[in-house]
Amino acid sequence: MRLCRFPPSSHRSLFKSKSFTSSTSTAAPDLIYSLSRCSNLKHINQIHGFMIHQGLHRDNLLLSRFVDVCMALGFLGYAFSVFGSNPDPNIYLYNTMIKALSQADSAKDPIGLFNRIQVVGLRPDSYSFPFVLKAVIRLSTVETGKQIHCQSLVIGLDSNVNVVTALIQMYSFYGCVPDARKLFDGVSSRDVVFWNAMVAGYAKVGDMESARELFERMPERNVISWTTVIAGYTQINRPDEAITVFQRMQLDGVEPDEIAMSAALSACADLGALEMGEWIHNYIDKRGLNKVVPLKNALIDMYAKSGKIGKAIKVFESMKSRSVISWTTIIAGLALHGLARKSLEIFSRMEMAKVKPNVVTFIAVLSACSHVGLVEMGLWFFSSMKPKYGIEPKIEHYGCMVDLLGRAGYLQEAQELVKRMPFEANAAIWGSLLAASNVHGDADLGATALRHLIKLEPNHSGNYTLLSNIYAAVGRWNDSRMVRKMMRDTGVQKMPGGCFIEVNNIVHEFVAGDTLHPEFDRIHEVLCMVTEQLECCLLFEKRGIRLDEIDEG
């Protein structure tokens, strides 16, 4: 490593003073000022040389500032070499170096550095443990985390709220939520960060009942508390509850952050809750967040899934900066609306913009081909993934191809592709073949698909119903009855149909046969009135009476 003991003349403007001073007390402010302006490796070399010249290279506090700047600029190796040359680092400098190493996927081991603390006669403090536990999450295993937990017990920091919060986060990351909950229950003095860690732990494993129970018990909540619950409900596909919590957040006067709005928009997309989605869009514009790419991506997805593909395109075209997710989302949205050729045009623009497609992009592209039966084009994209784009097809891509071939009537080719797959076919693939057999009346293929689906989804009533309908359509009534009997004998219950409807920013869920909705009587009355009117219209139509004649009369 080349050290520059004196700043080159071309870079002396970094320092307040024109010349070096022999006083360490006046040199330190110069150094701090210079670190704040540092932007490249030449500056790093210059400042290091200045530190050596002024005798500041053994000041642990200043070295910590130096390490932070090196890390921010990406010169971690330089920082580590400077740390290693210090003969007497204190715990503050060790913590800074562990933090820097834990934030980078570095070959240098922050966990090993943590273990050296006690070897050199120092004592880890309440900052050492959270920093090294972040490294455990990024670079190691839960067993290493348990060993560090034991060290916190020996040192007596096992009840420190910062240390226990980090341990909860570590155990939750590895799915050891019962261990995290034991720690949570063992601490009486809890701040909002501590509560959030446990709520997030439950949300991570999809246990939203426990997460919600803790959330409701929290003595105080911040925006992260609300966001964790909203995102948790979205991830387990309970968008109606995500929207409900988001609305409560508004009523409590908590301003949502970008993550909360993204999660809420995802829930709106799943529900088709357009009014709420448009409200969030207006809120984003008012807050001046319309340049935040992830939010724009979420808006594109929401509008596309809510049936407003024109607005989705408008949001996409307004973006000055686009990520691969932006391109992929609009391609998928156009495919969803059957606009396959427009979707493929966007893909061509993506290539011209030199944005490399990813595995999800090709799922969207192949889906676009499937929706309108572009078999040859789909086969070309599928066969080009590995040689042209360096992307190995995954089971989702094979699923798209099976769907494409099946929809187009190439049932034999679809079955051959399933046999050649390097993966075991999943329920989605056999479901595609079952649906294709229904469309094209191939009862034998339907029976084969159902045999596999019974093993993969034994309680899915729709598979039995579909095959029964296939048999009925080709006149095989005995087989149709046998499938229905098999369904009854195995105890498979037919799932009732359901839907969500948004009215005045409130999402209502309706399930067939359910009478528990608070407005049930009123809804039933209106439906009866609509039914009577339709029957009258049909009666007048049969008698040749025009409705406009009735109005005129």
- CA–CA gap between residue 235 and residue 213 (Å, rounded): 18
**228-261 burial code (b ≥16 CB/10 A, e <16):** bbbbbbbeeebbbbbbbbbbebeeeebebeebbb
Would the pLDDT of 283 be above 80? yes
Q: Choose among 495, 496, 501, 532: nearest CA to 519.
A: 501
User: Please, which pLDDT band fits residue 9 given cuts at 50, 70 and 90?
Assistant: very low
Q: Choose among 141, 129, 79: nearest CA to 104.
A: 79
**162-180 burial code (b ≥16 CB/10 A, e <16):** bbbbbbbbbbbbbebbebb
pLDDT digits (tens, 9 = 90+) for 371-388: 888 999 999 999 999 999
- CA–CA gap between residue 300 and residue 551 (Å, rounded): 44
Q: Choose among 184, 165, 168, 188: nearest CA to 176.
A: 168
Mean pLDDT estimate for the chain: 82
Contact 124, 158 (CB under 8 A): no
DSSP assignment string, 121-180: T----TTHHHHHHHHHHHHS-HHHHHHHHHHHHHHT-TT-HHHHHHHHHHHHHTT-HHHH
Average pLDDT in the 532-553 region?
65
- CA–CA gap between residue 94 and residue 124 (Å, rounded): 9
Residue listed under structure tokens 């500032």: 65
Would the pLDDT of 405 be above 90? yes
Helix axis angle, 477-489 to 461-473, nearest 10°: 170
The confidence score (pLDDT) of residue 466 equals 63
Would the pLDDT of 69 be above 80? yes
Would the pLDDT of 59 be above 60? yes
Would the pLDDT of 22 be above 60? no
- CA–CA gap between residue 334 and residue 316 (Å, rounded): 12
Would the pLDDT of 549 be above 70? no
In the chain, where are the structural domains located?
Answer: 29-88, 498-543
The H-or-E segment that residue 78 falls in is: helix 76-84
Would the pLDDT of 5 be above 70? no
User: Please, which pLDDT band fits residue 168 given cuts at 50, 70 and 90?
Assistant: very high
Would the pLDDT of 123 be above 50? yes
Cβ atoms < 10 Å from Cβ of 505: 13
* Strand, helix or coil for residue 424: coil
Contact 276, 243 (CB under 8 A): yes
pLDDT digits (tens, 9 = 90+) for 73-89: 888 888 888 888 788 88
| pTM of the predicted protein model | 0.71
Helix-strand-coil percent breakdown of the chain, rounded to 5?
70, 0, 30
The H-or-E segment that residue 205 falls in is: none
Q: What are phi and psi of 550, to 5 degrees?
A: -65, -40
Does residue 422 or residue 46 have the better pLDDT?
Answer: 422
Does residue 79 or residue 248 have the better pLDDT?
Answer: 248
The confidence score (pLDDT) of residue 393 equals 93
**465-488 burial code (b ≥16 CB/10 A, e <16):** bbbbebbbeeeeeebbeebbeebe
Rounded percentage of the chain residues whose pLDDT exceeds 70: 80
- CA–CA gap between residue 305 and residue 61 (Å, rounded): 54
- Which two tokens mark 195? 């509560």
The confidence score (pLDDT) of residue 289 equals 85
Q: Which region among 144-148, 257-261, 461-465 has the lowest average model confidence (pLDDT)? A: 461-465
- Which two tokens mark 503? 């009215």
The confidence score (pLDDT) of residue 456 equals 73
